């Protein structure tokens, strides 16, 4: 009986060790994918982050604000479809900088990012202001968007 338990435990440990080794294996480098994403030798590339801030305009009319937010969301979708925006989302808590949300744009050009952010109706109306920062991140970042639709039941 002890021998059976010992053999079972040994088999279990060996199986778990093998599974851990499998997980730890480094994925094979894919030059074609790296090139298509604009990756450098580290798999990274420059982006531009736009931090949306509280703007100077206050809109009390709920219908008008609803239309501006609807246009804001539609613009984000359009920019994502065009490959210009790779991340967008609101902050869940207020902060001392008055950041409301952020975009990560698929460009290293601050000027180009500013042109794109100015297409947002809520920015044009002054509901949101913005600050622009250069950023360096994984070149694979845009790939998550392709799967987002598979995991979201509803869109805002």
Question: Considering only 25-29, 33-37, 83-87, 147-151, which range has the smallest mean pLDDT?
Answer: 147-151
Same domain, 69 and 124: yes
62 and 20 in a common domain = no
Same domain, 80 and 62: yes
> What values do phi and psi take at 110, rounded to 5?
-65, -35
What is the average per-residue pLDDT within 42-57? 96
- Whether the Cβ atoms of residue 129 and residue 53 lie closer than 8 Å to each other: yes
The answer to whether residue 80 sits within a structural domain is yes
Q: What mean pLDDT is predicted for residues 38-60?
A: 95
Q: What is the pLDDT of residue 7?
A: 42
Average pLDDT of span 117-146: 94
21, 45: one domain:
no
Q: Using DSSP, state whether 37 is helix, strand or coil.
A: helix
Q: How many domains is the chain partitioned into structurally?
A: 2
Tell me the residue range of the domain where 14 lies: 2-28
| CATH number, position 103 | 3.30.70.1060
* Percent of the chain surpassing pLDDT 70: 83
Q: Are residues 90 and 116 in the same domain?
A: yes
Q: Is residue 27 very low, low, confident or very high in pLDDT (cuts 50, 70, 90)?
A: confident
User: Would you say 130 and 54 are in contact if contact means Cβ atoms under 8 Å apart?
Assistant: no
| Structural tokens at position 122 | 């809520």
Same domain, 120 and 62: yes
**How many whole angstroms separate alpha carbon 107 and alpha carbon 61?**
35
CA distances from 139 to 37, 61, 63, 67, 90 (A): 6, 41, 40, 34, 22
Kindly state whether residues 12 and 46 are assigned to the same domain.
Answer: no
- Does some domain include residue 156? no
Residue entry with tokens 């509803």: 154
User: Quick check: 70 pLDDT over 80?
Assistant: yes
pLDDT of residue 155: 67
Question: Considering the chain, what percentage of its residues have pLDDT values greater than 90?
Answer: 67
Is residue 59 in some structural domain? yes
Nearest-5° angle of CA 145, CA 148, CA 154?
135
Strand partners, 83: none
Does residue 123 belong to any structural domain of this protein?
yes
| Claim to verify: residue 20 and residue 83 sit in the same structural domain | no
């Amino acid at each position: 009986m002890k021998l059976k338990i010992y053999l079972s435990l040994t088999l279990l440990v060996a199986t778990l060790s093998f599974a851990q080794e499998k997980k730890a294996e480094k994925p094979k480098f894919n030059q074609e994918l790296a090139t298509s994403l604009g990756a450098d030798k580290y798999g990274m590339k420059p982006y531009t982050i736009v931090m949306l801030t509280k703007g100077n305009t206050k809109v009390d009319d709920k219908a008008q604000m609803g239309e501006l937010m609807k246009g804001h969301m539609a613009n984000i979708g359009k920019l994502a479809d065009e490959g210009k925006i790779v991340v967008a989302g609101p902050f869940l808590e207020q902060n001392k900088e008055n950041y409301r949300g952020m975009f990560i744009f698929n460009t290293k050009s601050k000027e180009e990012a500013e042109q794109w952010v100015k297409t947002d109706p809520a920015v044009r109306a002054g509901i949101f202001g913005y600050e622009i920062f250069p950023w360096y991140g994984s070149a694979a970042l845009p790939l998550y968007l392709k799967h987002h639709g598979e995991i979201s039941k509803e869109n805002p």
